Amino acid sequence: MENIRFDTEFITLGQLLKMTDVISSGGMAKWFLSENSVYVNGEIDQRRGRKLRNKDIVNIPGVGIFQLIGPENGD
């Protein structure tokens, strides 16, 4: 499992795909998610705008499993 660090409250699934070099531009996110299964916390999610927060786990089959490490916001 690879850690992905960010400093904002959340990042979107589309941003994660770009950060992990799965896609080369944000415009490719919708296409990628329509053609591939991506799991967020164990459930398939195809929303490029899905908000990913601290401790979320994203599994992109064939690419890797990523744990999001961001601000904890006191929870």
Which of 16, 10, 12, 13 is closest to 73 using CA atoms?
A: 10
Q: Classify residue 20: in a domain, yes or no.
A: yes
Mean pLDDT of 15-42: 94
Domains identified in the chain, total number: 1
Task: Please state the pTM of the whole predicted model.
Answer: 0.89
Average pLDDT over residues 50-61: 97
For residue 74, pLDDT beyond 80: no
Q: Residue 73: its pLDDT value, please?
A: 59
Domain CATH number, residue 26: 3.10.290.10
Instruction: Copy the structure tokens of residue 33.
Output: 């998610």
Answer yes or no: is 11 within a domain. yes
In a domain, 22, yes or no: yes
What range does the domain containing 32 cover?
2-69
Residue 43 domain flag = yes
Q: What is the pLDDT of residue 72?
A: 74
Mean pLDDT of 57-67: 96
